[in-house]
């Protein structure tokens, strides 16, 4: 039996490549997900949970036709984080989502990659708007949302993750 996989497009920015995950990305991904840095995305998680979440990166593309990419350095291919389009069960609508590993922190990587992901959503997928759903105790993500031009829209209560905020990105008009 041959599995049916979807093609995950590659996006490039000045410094970054947004690409499909590869097996060697699991260790940096798991390191982030098991660390206190993952508090902003509901963690920290166990290694077993991180493995399931790594698989979600592929599965989301298959189920929705869009998803999140590994953000890597264009020159070295070092993975810096996960950024892209995310619409899991229980979300109010599709979002632009970001998580940056410690090696990518403070370099504008989430900003640059999120702009590319949002542009892909608008120009390729035909979205006219997007949100970012941010846990209430994540001020750094609030700052990034503002920098991306998003504005606070409403509170949101997620059954598992708790209190969150909906931030609305500027639309295509």
What would the mean pLDDT of 82-109 be, rounded to a whole number?
A: 95
pLDDT of 173 > 80? The answer is no
Please give the class, per CATH, of domain 11-126.
Answer: alpha beta
Can you give the three-state secondary structure of the chain, one letter per residue? CCCCCCCCCCEECCCEEEECCCHHHHHHHHHHHCCHHHHHHCCCCCHHHHHHHHHHHHHHHHHHCCCEEEEEECCCCCEEEEEEEECCCCCCCCEEEEEECHHHCCCCHHHHHHHHHHHHHHHCCCCCCCEEEEECCCHHHHHHHHHCCCEEEEEEEECCCEEEEEEECCCCC
The answer to whether the predicted template modeling score (pTM) of the entire model surpasses 0.85 is: yes
Q: What is the pLDDT of residue 41?
A: 87
CA–CA gap between residue 40 and residue 145 (Å, rounded): 14
- Interval 120-171: pLDDT, tens: 999 999 999 999 999 998 999 999 999 999 999 999 999 988 999 999 999 9
What residue ranges do the domains of the chain occupy? Answer: 11-126
Q: What is the pLDDT of residue 87?
A: 97
| Contact indicator for 16, 74 with CB cutoff of 8 Å | yes
What would the mean pLDDT of 45-57 be, rounded to a whole number?
A: 96
């Amino acid at each position: 039996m041959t599995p049916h996989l979807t093609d995950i497009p590659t996006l490039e920015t000045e410094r970054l490549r947004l690409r499909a995950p590869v097996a060697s990305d699991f260790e940096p991904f798991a390191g982030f997900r098991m660390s206190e840095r993952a508090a902003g995305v509901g963690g920290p998680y166990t290694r077993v949970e991180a493995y399931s979440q790594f698989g979600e990166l592929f599965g989301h593309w298959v189920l929705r036709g869009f998803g999140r990419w590994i953000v890597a350095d264009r020159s070295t291919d070092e993975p810096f984080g996960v950024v892209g389009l995310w619409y899991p069960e229980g979300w109010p609508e599709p979002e632009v989502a970001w998580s940056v590993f410690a090696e990518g922190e403070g370099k504008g990587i989430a900003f640059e990659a999120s702009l590319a992901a949002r542009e892909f959503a608008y120009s390729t997928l035909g979205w006219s708007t997007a949100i970012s759903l941010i846990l209430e105790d994540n001020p750094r993500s609030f700052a990034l949302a503002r920098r991306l031009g998003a504005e606070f829209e409403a509170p949101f209560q997620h059954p598992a993750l708790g209190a969150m905020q909906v931030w609305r990105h500027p639309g295509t008009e």
